Amino acid sequence: MKRREFLKTTSAAGALALINSGALKAEMISGQKDITYNTLPLWKGFNLQEKFTHKPDEWMDIAPEWGAKNEPFRESDFAAIRELGFNYVRLPMSYKCWCEEDDWYKLKEKHLKEIDQAVDWGKQYGLHVCINFHRSPGYTINDVVFKPQYKEKTSIWDDEETLKACAFHWKHFAERYKGIPNSRVSFNLFNEPTGTTEEKHDKVIRYLVGEIRSIDPDRLIAIDGYDFRPSTNLVDLKIAQCARGYTPGIVTHYKAAWAFSPLNTPPTWPMKDDKGELWDRSRLIKHFQPWKDIEAKGIGVYVGEFGVYNQTPHDVTLAFLKNNLELWKQNKWGYAMWCFRGSFGVADSGRKDVRYENYNGMKLDREMIELLK
């Protein structure tokens, strides 16, 4: 099928799915309640990286694949994700994509409209769109691998002006998408906050949630917990929390240059980690228990990122994913793979041990797709 025909066909299918989709009925049926932090649907989808970085420089010496160029999102991705049977996209973005590098408060409407377009495509194709600041003023987890010239110059955890700048950006998005139901749009404040004290982290989260709610009181907000575990001190905020599916890293990040993988031989699943502990399905249950515990306190949980780098053997990757997905589905947790296209994803992943399917100009890992549904 040619790309134009594909978009036309999937656009019509997406519109029909939108009419029938429980995820979006809140927008269409008067009086029906919207989703909330503790009534999350079973999201299944992917992260899209067009605005992961504002220019490729910071990643060129580490992993050039992640050096995005601040391009518009692709309608063909939204169409394909819907046609393949999924209902969610997360947009992990750098704030530098929509503001001047030397002025936090000078926004670029051109690039903000490109995000608006992604939100509109979410509606068109029946996909929930999660807005995430993967890099915010004063914080990105990637500073641990960046050269000094690419790191954030101030810390959101310690600098009041940086925190106010971040709040300015979130308030802008809150105003921009006010009135769009949570069934279509949610906010994910940071990506994997760590490297500070829990007290400082909680103070920042409370401030940002308050600022967003001053504009849009009912907006669905999610956080990635604190230091890769649930934020038990923030239950009263009534915000969702997102786990990760990258553990153990010796399986998921084998030979990933930025992850300092310790293995010299390909991983297996199950397998023992570098401390000699066996990781299998039972160990995964134990690993995710803290997230079950916070869910028991009334907090909605889903898995905001997961995936396996393409150097891990494909059969090992599928076995690892299968055990994780079984648990998440059993728990009724949604999940979003990192990524759709690329080395962790289902399309154009560059694996040497996969028989790919040609799918609208992409090389599709059909076996992985079917596992994710």
Classify residue 118: in a domain, yes or no.
yes
Q: What is the per-residue pLDDT for 78?
A: 98
Q: Tell whether the model's pLDDT for residue 16 goes beyond 80.
A: no
Segment 270-314, tens digit of pLDDT:
999 888 999 999 999 999 999 999 999 999 999 999 999 999 999
Is 358 inside any structural domain? no
Output the domain CATH number for residue 224: 3.20.20.80
Evaluate whether residue 244 is within a structural domain.
yes
Query: Does a structural domain hold residue 201?
Result: yes
Mean pLDDT of 119-130: 98
Instruction: Evaluate whether residue 360 is within a structural domain.
Output: no
Does residue 56 have a pLDDT over 80? yes
Structure confidence by residue, pLDDT tens digits, 197-212: 999 999 999 999 999 9
Angle, in degrees to the nearest 10, between helices 109-125 and 3-20: 70
In a domain, 356, yes or no: no
pLDDT score recorded for residue 48:
98
**CB–CB of 312/266 below 8 Å?**
yes
Q: Please, which residues have CB within 8 angstroms of residue 206's CB and are 6 or more apart in sequence?
A: 234, 237
Q: How many CB atoms lie within 10 A of CB 66?
A: 18
Which residue's structure tokens are 């040609």? 358
**How far lies 49's CA from each of 185, 303, 337, 342, in Å?**
17, 17, 12, 10
29 confidence band (pLDDT: 50, 70, 90): very low
Q: What pLDDT score was predicted for residue 32?
A: 67
Burial category of 334 from C-beta neighbours within 10 Å (exposed 0-12, middle 13-18, buried 19 and up):
buried
pLDDT band per the 50, 70, 90 thresholds, residue 8:
very low
User: What's residue 331's pLDDT?
Assistant: 98
For residue 121, pLDDT beyond 80: yes
pLDDT digit string, tens, across residues 131-162: 999 999 999 999 999 999 999 999 999 999 99
Computed on alpha carbons and rounded to an integer, the radius of gyration of the chain in Å comes to 20
Considering only residues 75 and 31, tell me which one the structure prediction assigns the higher pLDDT: 75
Closest CA to 240 of 207, 214, 205: 205
**273 in a structural domain:** yes
- Enclosing domain of residue 57: 3-340
For residue 103, the cross-strand partners are 100
Q: State the DSSP string of 193-238.
A: --SS-HHHHHHHHHHHHHHHHHH-TT--EEE--BTTB--GGGGGG-
User: How many structural domains does the chain have?
Assistant: 1
Opening angle at CA 337, ends 88 and 165, nearest 5: 75
Predicted TM-score (pTM) of this structure? 0.91
370 within some domain: no
* Residue 235 predicted with pLDDT over 60: yes
Helices (H), the chain: 3-20, 25-28, 75-83, 109-125, 160-176, 198-215, 249-252, 281-295, 314-331, 366-372
Query: What is the share, in percent, of the chain residues with pLDDT greater than 70?
Result: 91
Say if residue 30's pLDDT is above 70: no
Which of 6-20, 200-214, 219-233, 357-371 is least confident? 6-20
Average pLDDT taken over every residue of the chain:
92
Angle ∠(155,260,323) on CA atoms, nearest 5: 100
